[in-house]
Amino acid sequence: MISRLVRCVTRERGPGADRSRRAARVRVTAVAGAISVLSACGGSDGPDSPPATTSALTAVGPQCPAGDPAGHGAVEGPGPRGPVPRAPFLVDPNSQPAQVARQNPAAGTAAATIATRPLAYPVGDWLGDSVQAQVAARAAEAERTGSTAVFMVYAIPHRDVSAGFSAGGLPDAGSYRAFTRKVAAGIGHRNAVIVLEPDSLAQLDHLGHAEQEERYQLLNDAVDVYGGLSGTSVYLDGANCGWTDAPVIADRLERAGVQRARGFAVNVSNYYHTQDEVARADVISGLTGGSHFVVDTSRNGRGPASGDLKDAWCNPPGRGLGITPTTDTGNPRADAFLWIKVPGASDGECGRNNPSAGTWWPAQADELVRNATS
């Protein structure tokens, strides 16, 4: 059942992680002047809003420094490769919430609401032999409706190695390379966005050296395969405000082939405010030669959870839908705000007996719709 197999979970890393690497990797950058840490990342729980376009943002934490939303001061470099994503994005008639709403109309009000928005289609090992057909069906529907399909690819070996709620992935490098080519064949010449393996770069510290090298090789291969499609924009894993600071993730992005991709994706399956994620992404862009980015705004309308909630990245209560998918971002390097994580699909058990990762959770869907900010 798709409701139990759609899996996309990212983590806020724990305190102290990456520090030894960070000290060795920090580089000088000319982006937006000096970075000053002023307050905790994430801001308040108030409603979200698009980033300002006329003044620099305030620094919000060591992983989410002040950016330059007006686009001034960008570091010269090769910039993004591949086409600019074209709106509108596909509203999939067979998305997870659309299926839920059809199966139970009386109890699926929130699902029906979410189903009217463009959602990324999660593509992973759970699709088995049908992966090419499933991708091709969405790509063809997008072509038929004059829209762009968004795919979240989540099948790399040793997936979700740190937290484990979405652990799995394909068993080896050869099967992953074959999987990549099936997904690409399903897309073909049609317009598409690939969000490539959330977690994959942020979780590198939890892999051994050989596994890290294999992961870089697989991501570089995927960038070349998907990037070779005429209508496809490719975005690698850029983590989020609570996990992996800008110089570290920039170094990993470069090793993963970001110079041959459109750019990177931030806040996938997390809750940080759009303006904070844009601020951090601006700095990463400067460190990677002007690569572009997309932001997952699916559940960040009220920002991250505050207080003493354990594992606050995992199904925090009181959250709301964020900015509806759009290419009107107010930032020349932010290509789009997208709903990459399916709102209403659980992040995992979370140590609180929540539904397993990817399972549709009606109570959460109701809450996200009730607290929506756009």
User: How does DSSP classify residue 127?
Assistant: G
The separation between CA 337 and the C-alpha centre of its own chain, rounded to angstroms, equals 10
Q: Is the per-residue pLDDT at 3 higher than 50?
A: no
Which pLDDT does position 64 carry in this prediction? 64
pLDDT tens across 252-309, in order?
999 999 999 999 999 999 999 999 999 999 999 999 999 999 999 999 999 998 877 7
Q: Is the per-residue pLDDT at 166 higher than 90?
A: no
Residue 191: pLDDT band by 50, 70, 90 thresholds? very high
Task: From the candidates 48, 68, 199, 335, give the one annotated as an active-site residue.
Answer: 199
Report the distance separating Cα 344 and Cα 113, nearest Å.
11
Task: From the candidates 48, 92, 125, 160, give the one annotated as an active-site residue.
Answer: 160
Cα→Cα distances 291→143, 191, 262, Å: 27, 20, 6
Report the distance separating Cα 282 and Cα 224, nearest Å.
24
Which pLDDT does position 161 carry in this prediction? 82
Which pLDDT does position 312 carry in this prediction? 85
Residue 199 known to be catalytic:
yes
Residue 311 known to be catalytic:
no
Contacts of 88 (CB under 8 A, 6+ apart): 118, 146, 147, 148
**Taking residues 136-150, what's their average pLDDT?**
98
Percentage of residues in the chain with pLDDT exceeding 70? Answer: 79
Which pLDDT does position 32 carry in this prediction? 33
pTM across the whole model: 0.84
Q: Are 194 and 153 in contact (CB under 8 A)?
A: yes
List the structure tokens of 78: 């090769």
Which pLDDT does position 228 carry in this prediction? 97
Q: Is the per-residue pLDDT at 319 higher than 80?
A: yes
**Taking residues 325-331, what's their average pLDDT?**
97
Closest CA to 172 of 124, 214, 110, 209: 214
Residue 346: pLDDT band by 50, 70, 90 thresholds? very high
Percentage of residues in the chain with pLDDT exceeding 90? Answer: 69
Q: Is the per-residue pLDDT at 315 higher than 80?
A: yes
**Taking residues 335-360, what's their average pLDDT?**
94
Q: Higher model confidence: residue 129 or residue 3?
A: 129
The separation between CA 327 and the C-alpha centre of its own chain, rounded to angstroms, equals 15
Q: Is the per-residue pLDDT at 41 higher than 80?
A: no
Q: Which is it for strands 149-153 and 121-123: parallel, antiparallel or unpaired?
A: parallel
Q: Higher model confidence: residue 4 or residue 59?
A: 59
Residue 172 known to be catalytic:
no
**Taking residues 37-43, what's their average pLDDT?**
29
List the structure tokens of 51: 């980033």
The CB density around residue 5, as the number of other CB atoms within 10 Å, is: 16
Closest CA to 41 of 239, 237, 282, 277: 277
Beginning with the edge strand found earlier in the chain, give each strand of the sheet holding 192-196 in spatial order. Answer: 121-123, 149-153, 192-196, 232-237, 263-266, 292-296, 334-338
Q: Higher model confidence: residue 49 or residue 3?
A: 49
**Taking residues 52-67, what's their average pLDDT?**
43
Residue 163: pLDDT band by 50, 70, 90 thresholds? low
